[in-house]
Structure 1
């Protein structure tokens, strides 16, 4: 783990997506954070020692999903499929498919496992929030808050759009695993990867952390809110800085587009290998995205923190 010294920084962005605004001053206490996202190798050890069964390996309960067709109530998870050509970017169903038998051992479906795909040193994916939380507890750690993740992802670089500066690819150098080309049908793979990449494949940030940006989105501890906390909770003589802010609350984190499903959403940070210049420019520290806690996909992973030992 890497020690991140406590400090104050400007969180958020007013240059990209509305949910990242407004800019606000935030303080976080010192903490330790994993140098890399949790890998398949690490997660396999957790499963072997605890017998943990991930959410993707359990059939959905129809009581939690009113109206679900009986034929869909089988274990599985969401898998990205490249399209043959341009599609409506407003409809993610054009590239996401629920695949029976897809889970962390078989991230793209039951026909290929981690050995066949040589993914042991890639970030684990197809893990729901409860799976990440269970792993964190097993190792005596926690999931990072949104503020802790963003502070660490910036690597000490204040106010820049990207974790490495103001250019996405400075001098043509690929600094992270994101989508080059036109999403979701043409990936030129200038970074060398179509899907996830092994951890440490790209330069570390200023704190020595790898893959804080792109490769996979990462779960945080915070419930989603459309507008982040902006009112300071006064401590001492601090009136204008948010101290160790936390996200929203469970009822407010529900998806208004699916009122029949009473499953909350947590904040994802960091972007993934599916973020592209023409879609989802979220390969940035300020980027944030809501995700239902039952979601397991090919582009979401996690890492852990330890507080109070900085």
Structure 2
């Protein structure tokens, strides 16, 4: 199970959600800036790793949705030539492949393996929101609301772009794992990785949280259709009572991933919002957990 030492305490207080800047997409409803009171909570320092998810699976026999349906989405640069020959291209976004045999154990296709490829310290990916909820239920934890995620990601600052300011470099070193180069054809790996990085990498924010920006998108508890400007109307208990269970629909994801690039995705920012269908899995989708105090 995820142990107490894996969590950090986020203090209660009055915070501001969202942004009035026009960095993102109008349909994401990132603004206007909204004042909200958030009670104290605990949040995991990292996204859940393959090792932690493996522990859950070994204890319960759980099978993810990708395993049950037999396929999932893989970004084309992470797929081997063998996988590419047998995959279907997603026509709307041809850099995504529908790959038979892709799942959390085999994140880039049947010829990959998180154990033999020494990826147990990487974030677990290829998990749907429903899979994340199953892990949370077993561990007696839950997914964060968007408000909790954003407050924790800021690390006690007022920053709305990145926890350390507005630059993707700090003292000449990269601060997160995103896509550098010519998207979607060449990630030159200037940040050290042309793909996933270990969950505990780069400098953490001032609360001690690793990689809130980049690496993997993180599932949240609430639906994406609720504007941030409305969050002051709802308590955490409200979200838990309605949404802490498998549901059909689009739910919020936060933080961006190793595939975010300025030419395509403007959502690798603290205040940025994104969403995905609750049954969707891909090799850039993961999650972290919270505990109530």
Q: TM-score, normalising length from structure 1?
A: 0.80
In 1, the alpha carbon distance for the partners of 2:92 and 2:36 equals 33
In 2, the alpha carbon distance for the partners of 1:30 and 1:120 equals 30
In 2, the alpha carbon distance for the partners of 1:174 and 1:289 equals 23
Partner of 2:154: 154
Q: Is the 8 A contact 2:32 2:229 kept in 1?
A: no
Partner of 1:105: 105
Partner of 2:17: 11
Larger radius of gyration: 1
Aligned partner (choices 269, 275, 279) of residue 294 of structure 1: 279
* Structure with the larger helix share: 2
Distance change (3 Å), C-alpha of 1:243 and 1:58: closer
Q: CA deviation at 1:22?
A: 1.5
Distance change (3 Å), C-alpha of 1:142 and 1:231: closer
In 1, the alpha carbon distance for the partners of 2:196 and 2:139 equals 24
Distance change (3 Å), C-alpha of 1:21 and 1:289: same
Question: What's the secondary structure of 1:117's corresponding residue?
Answer: coil
After TM superposition, list the pairs within 5 Å mapping 1:203-214 onto structure 2. 203-214=203-214
The answer to which of 18-27 and 133-142 deviates more is 18-27
In 2, the alpha carbon distance for the partners of 1:11 and 1:304 equals 20
Cα root mean square deviation, aligned: 2.2
Q: Is the 8 A contact 2:123 2:286 kept in 1?
A: yes
Moved over 6 A (4+): none
Aligned partner (choices 242, 260, 263) of residue 278 of structure 1: 263
In 1, the alpha carbon distance for the partners of 2:129 and 2:219 equals 7
Partner of 1:303: 288
Distance change (3 Å), C-alpha of 1:168 and 1:246: farther
Q: CA deviation at 1:97?
A: 1.0
Q: CA deviation at 1:273?
A: 0.4
Partner of 2:55: 45
Q: Is the 8 A contact 1:27 1:243 kept in 2?
A: no
Q: Is the 8 A contact 1:267 1:288 kept in 2?
A: yes
What do residues 45-97 of structure 1 show as CA deviations (whole Å, max 9, x unaligned)?
100000001000112xxxxxxxxxxxxxxx110000139xxxxxxx7521111
Question: What's the secondary structure of 2:133's corresponding residue?
Answer: helix
In 2, the alpha carbon distance for the partners of 1:224 and 1:277 equals 22
Question: What's the secondary structure of 1:58's corresponding residue?
Answer: helix
Q: CA deviation at 1:232?
A: 4.3
In 1, the alpha carbon distance for the partners of 2:187 and 2:238 equals 36
Partner of 2:84: none
Q: CA deviation at 1:118?
A: 1.6
Partner of 1:58: 68
Question: What's the secondary structure of 2:106's corresponding residue?
Answer: coil
The answer to which of 156-165 and 205-214 deviates more is 156-165
The answer to which of 147-156 and 167-176 deviates more is 167-176
Segments of structure 1 that go 5 or more residues without pairing to the other structure are 60-74, 84-90, 234-241, 251-261
Q: Is the 8 A contact 1:180 1:277 kept in 2?
A: no
Q: Find out whether 1:181 has 2:176 as its counterpart.
A: no
Segments of structure 2 that go 5 or more residues without pairing to the other structure are 1-6, 79-90
In 2, the alpha carbon distance for the partners of 1:136 and 1:154 equals 23
In 2, the alpha carbon distance for the partners of 1:231 and 1:277 equals 28
What do residues 157-210 of structure 1 show as CA deviations (whole Å, max 9, x unaligned)?
114421111223244321011111221112121111011101221100010111
Task: Kindly tell me the number of residue pairs found equivalent between the two proteins.
Answer: 266
In 1, the alpha carbon distance for the partners of 2:186 and 2:31 equals 31
Question: What's the secondary structure of 2:93's corresponding residue?
Answer: helix
